[in-house]
Amino acid sequence: MSQSYDVIVVGSGPGGYVAAIRSAQLGFKTAVIEREKVGGVCLNVGCIPSKAMIGAAHFLHKLEHDSKEMGIKVKGDVDVDMEQMQKWKQGVCDKMSGGVNQLLKGNKVTIVQGDATFKTTTSIEVKSSKGTETLTTKYFVVATGSRPIEIPGFKFDEKDVLSSTGALAQDEVPKKMVVIGGGYIGLEISSFMQKFGAEVHVLEAQDGLLTGMADPECIQVVQRKLKKSGVNLHFGAKAKSFKKSGKSLEVTFEKGGKEEKIKTDKILVTVGRKPNSDQANLKGIGLAIDERGFVKVNEQRRTSIPNIFAIGDIAGQPMLAHKASHEGVLVAEVIAGKNRVYDAKTVPAVIFVDPEIASAGWTEAECKANGHSDLKVAKFPFGANGKAVSMMETDGFVKMIADAKTHVLLGVHIVGPEASNLISEAVLAIEMGARLEDIALSIHPHPTLGETMMEAAEATLGHAIHIIQKPLGSATKRNGSGARA
Ligand code: NAI
């Protein structure tokens, strides 16, 4: 006899496991199906392991570059033991995945291990080494995520041609690495591999890094620092093919109409991710899928089949874990009959490069496209913040964009230390419809990086204390110390 549930969640990443826990909290008999490890890509082969590696690389960089000036003497060589680092990193992932397992069990969610295939709109078959079982349910939540895109001529084998998963599992630092794609993943991995000692070449098809993915001034800071630290950036460079001779690889790419070649030990391909909508027989049961491969959903994340919901990477951009988790709570509450829709004003985005880039709300171009032609824009530099100076991390700034008449905050773009943590204040401010004065008049603790938020709001109003500003003339206008940032 098949097991029957109220809610079955397919996929246990940050979308799926959150949906399952919230469903169980709301009193539903819930199961979650997972073919690999609980926690999905994010916890096991994505966000968490990459942050572990980035953290280790940052620590190494501080030891090698800042310690002497701080008066810390390192006796002997500082070296990277990649095998030990992999063990440590795996320990971090296992702890997180184990924690999610406990949370699911503690909430009485049944974890079904295996590969799921939809049979009908209310039943699903799960295959595992133990056999095949069929489960039935009133509601499904599809949270089956995305996978890296492959490009012709560069099939992932995780030995020579790596996806992000392979790059995060290296037992040795490659001497040389060619990274195809200068987006989120390519740059996060390039940053830490370079710090561990690899010679890194980034091939980016566009004219710059992270095109359209962040505020252009923030990107400039990162681009400059990457170049200065020795990462080789090749723009307008389209990877074509590679050849292997012995252990060495040679990548051919096209740049400015000419073919160029680079020898390398490893190739990392990070040209985007695609939704897993061609799997699990989603099309077979008639689920509507758009031309980019995303499952079509409405503002409650309901699909074209009313008892099936879809969340996370499979349900559209932005493909970010925190958006998936937000949707996980949302669909459980919608199933429970609560009056909820997806109405977030902003989904923050963080790129964990050096320094970090974080943003919430609109860029200046987006503000204008959305009808705000008269803007106040200013930056406050980390170089004028005591905590940042004491950390020896002064690259970057907080940039605020507000409507010139109402002073309502429209966008915050941070490049600098702990940008990832600082951005949450901006998210709250934007969600609450805050004005510049709300941030400027809130007392921020000293000495903290958080003061840069208060001072950026003051700078946008034209009167930050710790930078010299020109007197404010007409309302549009850019203020703050761009030059120092
Ligand atoms: P991406 O979309 O961020 O960047 C891909 C880059 O590859 C683009 O700049 C594109 O111009 C370039 N490209 C495409 N084809 C090329 C070719 N043949 N030769 C050279 N360059 C080429 O993709 P990525 O880095 O794989 O990340 C995928 C997604 O994963 C992101 O969009 C993001 O949603 C998510 N992610 C989020 C993270 C975070 O929140 N910190 C971290 C990692 C990934």
Domain limits, the chain: 2-148+274-335, 161-271, 355-484
CA of 268 to the centre of ligand 1 (A): 12
Per-residue pLDDT reduced to its tens digit, 177-226: 999 999 999 999 999 999 999 999 999 999 999 999 999 999 999 999 99
- Tell me the CA–centroid distance for residue 271 and ligand 1, in Å: 5
Average pLDDT taken over every residue of the chain = 96
Question: Higher model confidence: residue 15 or residue 76?
Answer: 15
> What is the pLDDT, as a whole number, of residue 68?
94
Asked if 446 and 386 count as a contact pair (C-beta separation under 8 A), the reply is yes
Cα-to-centroid distance, 187 and ligand 1 (Å): 9
Distance from the CA of 134 to the center of ligand 1, in angstroms? Answer: 37
**% of the chain beyond a pLDDT of 70:** 97
State residue 482's pLDDT score: 42
By three-state DSSP, how is residue 297 classified?
coil
User: How many angstroms is it from 49 CA to the middle of ligand 1?
Assistant: 18
CA of 94 to the centre of ligand 1 (A): 26
Instruction: Identify each DSSP E strand in 42-170 by its residue range.
Output: 110-113, 115-118, 123-128, 131-142, 146-148, 161-162
The closest residue, in CA terms, to atom 3 on ligand 1 is 183
Domain spanning 2-148+274-335: CATH superfamily: FAD/NAD(P)-binding domain (3.50.50.60)
Contacts of 9 (CB under 8 A, 6+ apart): 16, 17, 19, 20, 23, 30, 31, 32, 33, 140, 141, 143
Instruction: Write down the pLDDT at residue 477.
Output: 53
pLDDT above 50: residue 485: no
Ligand 1 centroid from CA 211, angstroms: 10
User: pLDDT tier at 319 (50, 70, 90 boundaries)?
Assistant: very high
Ligand 1 atom 43 nearest Cα: 185
Question: Of residues 61, 65, 372, 446, which has the active-site annotation?
Answer: 446
| Mean pLDDT of the 131-145 span | 98
pLDDT over 60 at 55, yes or no:
yes
- Give the span between the Cα atoms of 327 and 366, in whole angstroms: 24
pLDDT in tens, 418-429: 999 999 999 999
pLDDT at residue 479, rounded to an integer = 59
Identify the residue whose tokens are 């980016």: 204
Nearest CA to ligand 1 atom 36: 184
Exposure of 129 in the CB half-sphere (CA atoms within 13 A): 1
Q: How confident is the model at residue 2 (pLDDT cuts 50, 70, 90)?
A: confident
**CA-closest residue to ligand 1 atom 2:** 272
Give the residue whose CA is nearest to atom 5 of ligand 1: 271
Taking CA atoms only, the protein residue closest to ligand 1 atom 33 is 319
pTM: 0.95
Residue to mutate (ligand 1; options 180, 184, 357; most atoms within 8 A of CB)? 184
**pLDDT at site 1:** 61
Q: Please say whether the structural domain 355-484 has been given the CATH code 3.40.109.10.
A: no
What tens digit of pLDDT does each residue of 353-386 get? Answer: 999 999 999 999 999 999 999 999 999 999 999 9
- Contact (CB, 8 A) for 86 and 171: yes
DSSP state of 289: B
| 446 classed as catalytic | yes
Are both 161-271 and 355-484 of the same fold? no
- Which atom of ligand 1 lies nearest, measured to the CA of 321? 40
Give the pLDDT of residue 484: 35
Residue list, ligand 1 pocket, CB within 6 Å: 151, 180-186, 188, 203-206, 211, 213, 238-239, 270-273, 318-320, 350-352
Pocket test for ligand 1, best of 164, 234, 273 (most atoms within 8 A of CB): 273
Q: What b/e sequence results for 244-272 when a residue is b if at least 16 CB atoms lie within 10 Å of its CB, and e otherwise? A: eeeeebebebeeeeeeeebebbbbbbbbe
pLDDT at 483: 35
What value does the mean pLDDT take over residues 341-352? 98
- Domain 161-271 belongs to what topology? FAD/NAD(P)-binding domain (3.50.50)
* Residue 407 near residue 440, CB atoms below 8 Å: no
Range in 20-34, 259-273, 461-475 with the lowest mean pLDDT: 461-475
Closest atom of ligand 1 to CA, residue 349: 40
What is the whole-number distance in angstroms between the Cα of residue 147 and the centre of ligand 1? 12
Which of 161, 168, 271, 414 to mutate to test ligand 1, by most ligand atoms within 8 A of the CB atom?
271
**Minimum-distance ligand 1 atom for the alpha carbon of 237:** 20
What ligand 1 atom has the least distance to the C-alpha of 209? 9
pLDDT for 344 equals 98
Residue 425 has a pLDDT of 98
Taking the centre of ligand 1 as the mean of its atom positions, its distance from the CA of residue 60, in whole angstroms, is 26
SS3 210: coil
- Protein residue whose Cα sits closest to atom 34 of ligand 1: 319
Question: Which residue, judged by its Cα, is nearest atom 41 of ligand 1?
Answer: 351
> What is the pLDDT, as a whole number, of residue 358?
98
Closest ligand 1 atom, residue 253 Cα:
19
Mutate to test the pocket of ligand 1, among 41, 47, 185, 294 (most ligand atoms within 8 A of CB): 185
Which atom from ligand 1 is nearest to the alpha carbon of 206?
11
Q: What ranges make up the beta strands (E) of 30-181?
A: 30-34, 110-113, 115-118, 123-128, 131-142, 146-148, 161-162, 176-180
Predicted pLDDT at 480: 54
Atom 31, ligand 1: residue with shortest CA distance: 184
| Nearest in space to 233 (alpha carbons), one of 160, 188, 178, 162 | 178
Atom of ligand 1 nearest to the CA of 238: 19
